[in-house]
Amino acid sequence: MWLLRESNATQNGGTMKKAKKHSVLLIDDSDVNTTMLSNILSPDYKILVAKCGHEGIELAKTKTPDIIILDVVMPDISGYDVIVMLKKAVSTRNIPVIFITSLANLEDETKGLSLGGSDYITKPFCKEIVKLRVQNQSRILNYIDTIERLSRIDQLTGLPNRRSVHERSLSEWKLAIREGTTLSVLIIDIDHFKKCNDTYGHLMGDVVLQKTAKAISHALNRPSDFAARWGGEEFIVLLPKTESEGAAIIAESIRKSVEDVEIPFADGRSTRVTISIGVNTHSPTKKCSIDDLLNYADDALYIAKKRGRNNVAVYKDNVPE
């Protein structure tokens, strides 16, 4: 449904995510060294300390620090053995390791870097060099974090993308199995979206997608609720620990929120759009799949569209209502 009339356009801006304070694990049997390194780094990083290689490995697995500073010569096992074990474990293999050691010859440095070390500092160490080397690894981690976040975000709407949906749905599915709770899903489709693109152009279609995404997000109240762009003109919402009746109420709230939004044109006019929503609720078990949850919601969406669009259809007992 499309309604056209005069209006004024508005524009919303975004905010940048602040980089987190990284944690650094010091693995060194010398109290003097760990104290000095702690004093150098503690103003900018969270510091963890292990006094031997085995303790360092266990601490790395349980605390998953962002960066590890590792001595080579220790009483139980060498730092080279430690990094080999860290690189074998899934939980620790991607943690950057900076060797800090009195072994200053080229062969030792080559060995450390070839085993997966990210950097190599020789003792006696310089305060500024330590700070800069750790800062470099911290900066790389921030870059990686930014790239990872962007790879999970739909650049047009700012919502999580399909990749994020797969990751989040699997996580929520496993949680529901463990806790014996329900999981509801809404699949949302913008009505007559092709007509919008054909009539007003793809730039206007992009504005419709952006405004619809914002309205869907604003209609959700709980931190655990998850909205994403599913693809094209479709969106998806995951509602953990939500029964069918509650999911239907939320779906209707979203439908009404989108219908009430004015979508501006560059020339001052505006339009409104409507959406159709399919709802399905599952009590996940190991014998059923996420695909069932999504497929039944998609079946319900088909019914909502068949009814004339701009409505909510709920899938219950294998029969869309």
Residues noted as catalytic: 233
CA 86 to chain centre: 25
Length of the chain: 321
Contact 22, 66 (CB under 8 A): yes
Q: What kind and span of H or E run contains 101?
A: strand 97-101
**How far is residue 91's CA from residue 138's CA, in Å, rounded to a whole number?**
18
Token match 């030792």: residue? 108
From the list 273, 104, 235, the residue with the least C-alpha distance to 159 is: 235
Q: Is the dihedral of CA 182, 183, 186, 187 positive or negative?
A: negative
The type of residue at 62 is T
Chain Cα centroid distance, residue 59 = 25
Helix and strand element counts for the chain (H, E): 10, 14
